[in-house]
Chain A
Amino acid sequence: MGFNIWAIENPENSLEWMVYLTDKYLNMFLEGTWLTLYIAVLGTLLGFVLGYVVGIIQDLKINQGDNFIKKILIKTLKIIASVYVEIFRDTPMIVQAMIIYYGIRQMGVNMTPIVAGIIVTVLNTGAYMAETVRGGIGSIDQGQREGAWAMGMSPMKTMLYIVLPQAFKNIIPEMANTFLTNLKMTSVLNVIAVQELFMAAKTVGGNYYKYFESYLVIAAIYFVLCFVFNKLFKLIEKRMKGKNDYTLAVEYMDNE
């Protein structure tokens, strides 16, 4: 045909501009994609851990028979947890990013934008996950816990072995959702100069004054990333469902 898609010299329409920009700034887009993924994955995973810890703290019950110090400790933890969740759920992530990045710099601690970006993502995810985990724990029938307590299992072990595994299964879709949200929310981190995808598009677009085309390129990248992860999570969810049948242990049959 004689038409080489990667050799557009003088792009004329939007599609050609997209190809031209992608070709010329491939490294920038790839680095942006990598950074977006890096922050989203690391931030989400650490955020999940934080969310589980805070969610469990919020679910702690104060036992009348506990000693004074333990009561105070639980009470304090619960207050800290709820203040944290409230603050991070009630302010925009873009504002949190600015406050944390500039706040910490002002205190004289030198921090790269990427580290700040991860911290913001973790704290934000943690706050939302805490609520999800609390809801997931609450959705498990009280009888499940009583069954374990009645055999002398401590509330903490009951949480770990009985309640959390069941709650975890129930909140997988919500966890997938959170990750996809984070993948897209990393774009706000461009305000603290993290070189993620949005920043890449902004820079590239600015060079040629072709914002529409350059943002279309990253829109496609975001879409493909989210689409692939979505399919992946569906697969995991299906795997977690487990088998529908069981095999009889025939070796014990004669004892019936």
Chain B
Amino acid sequence: MKETVIGIQDLSKSFGNHEVLRKIDMEIHAGEIICIVGSSGSGKSTLLRCINKLERQTAGKILYHGKEVRDSQREINEYRAKVGMVFQSFNLFNNMTVLKNCMICTRKVLHLSKEEAFDRAITHLKEVGMAPFIHAKPSQLSGGQKQRVAIARSLCMNPEVLLFDEPTSALDPEMVGEVLQVMKQLATTGLTMIIVTHEMAFAKDVSTRTIFMDRGYVAEDAAPSQLFTNPKNPRTREFLKRYLAG
């Protein structure tokens, strides 16, 4: 087994009395493509947000290369620079052009020179096919284009792990394809990816490991070939049946 990049130990998260995550234990190894599936409210997105420290866990730990990521702002910032995130609502900076969006964090967080930051931005924008749009503002792009820029922006940080929080859920059906295509391409580069998604065909096709979450628990954690064709947990079976039915 490859090296563990992120370790999740005994992670719980409650909003008031509502328990969203219950004692999650998980290890994410270098190069894995993990798809997390499950119905709405099962805690998938919260888990991802806890991994990026956007939510503070109620109990438990997140480990990065075996070392706990503590809650000091400094440690969190350093950790996030290595573990990027792509959001459902894109979250491109509205006051900046596509190019600026891709350069601001490399300039201000990694302190790259202007030339280096520009080269990186262009390289990754080319990868997602958005380089011709460097002068556009986010409001002038379609949803699929925005998400491709958001992916390029995250890649500019040279992250070790990239988290995707339902990257295609806010898109029109005909734009889902272009984003999934980019992600498929990324999956071949060896980048570690954790993807929360409702695209079952994509999960089955691309992931090296699929996790089914149910009511805050990891109900099943298996290879996609097994989880999708021969699920062990009755809840998984039920969920997949509903999905396939429509």
Instruction: Please give the residue numbers on chain A whose beta carbons come within 8 Å of chain B beta carbons, in ascending order.
Output: 63-67, 143-144, 146-155, 157, 161-162, 165-166, 169, 242, 245-250, 252-253, 255-256
Contacts and interface: CB of A to CB of B under 8 A. Distances in A.
Contacts of B109: 151-153, 157
A247 to B, nearest CB: 6
A150 B84 contact: yes
B94 A144 contact: yes
Given A148-B105, A150-B84, A151-B84, A250 B91 contact: no
B132 A166 contact: no
Contacts of A148: 93, 104-105
29 contacts: A63-B72, A63-B73, A64-B71, A65-B71, A65-B72, A143-B91, A144-B91, A146-B54, A146-B85, A150-B52, A150-B85, A150-B87, A150-B91, A151-B153, A152-B77, A152-B82, A152-B105, A153-B104, A153-B105, A153-B108, A162-B93, A166-B94, A166-B95, A242-B137, A246-B135, A246-B137, A249-B134, A252-B131, A252-B134
Contacts of A154: 73, 77
A150 B137 CA distance: 21
Q: Which 6 A-B pairs have the closest CB atoms?
A: A65-B71, A152-B81, A147-B91, A252-B131, A150-B85, A152-B80
B154 interface: yes
A157 B106 CA distance: 13
B189 interface: no
Interface in B67-98: 70-73, 75-82, 84-85, 87, 89-95, 97
Contacts of B125: 252
A149 B54 contact: yes
Contacts of B153: 151
A19 to B, nearest CB: 51
Given A169-B95, A248-B132, A256-B132, A161 B71 contact: no
B129 A256 contact: yes
B244 to A, nearest CB: 33
A144 to B, nearest CB: 6
A65 B73 contact: yes
Nearest to A255: B126
Contacts of A246: 97, 133, 135-137, 140
B65 interface: no
A247 B52 CA distance: 35
A147 to B, nearest CB: 3
Q: Quick one: which of B70, B131, B137, B154 has the most chain A CB within 10 A? A: B131
Contacts of B213: none
Contacts of B70: 65
Contacts of B92: 147
A249 B133 contact: yes
A19 B122 CA distance: 67
Nearest to B125: A252
A63 to B, nearest CB: 6
A89 B77 CA distance: 37
B56 interface: yes
A248 B132 CA distance: 5
Nearest to A245: B140
Contact of A150 (B54, B93, B95): B54
B157 interface: yes
A148 to B, nearest CB: 7
B1 to A, nearest CB: 28
Query: Which of A143, A155, A253 counts the most B-chain CB atoms under 10 A from its CB?
Result: A143
Contacts of B122: 252
A165 B95 CA distance: 7
A67 B122 CA distance: 40
Nearest to B72: A65
Nearest to A142: B91
B87 A146 contact: yes
Contacts of B90: 143, 147
A143 B80 contact: no
Nearest to A169: B95
B157 A151 contact: yes
Interface string B146-164: 0000100110010000000
Contacts of B89: 143
Contact of A65 (B76, B97, B104, B154): B76
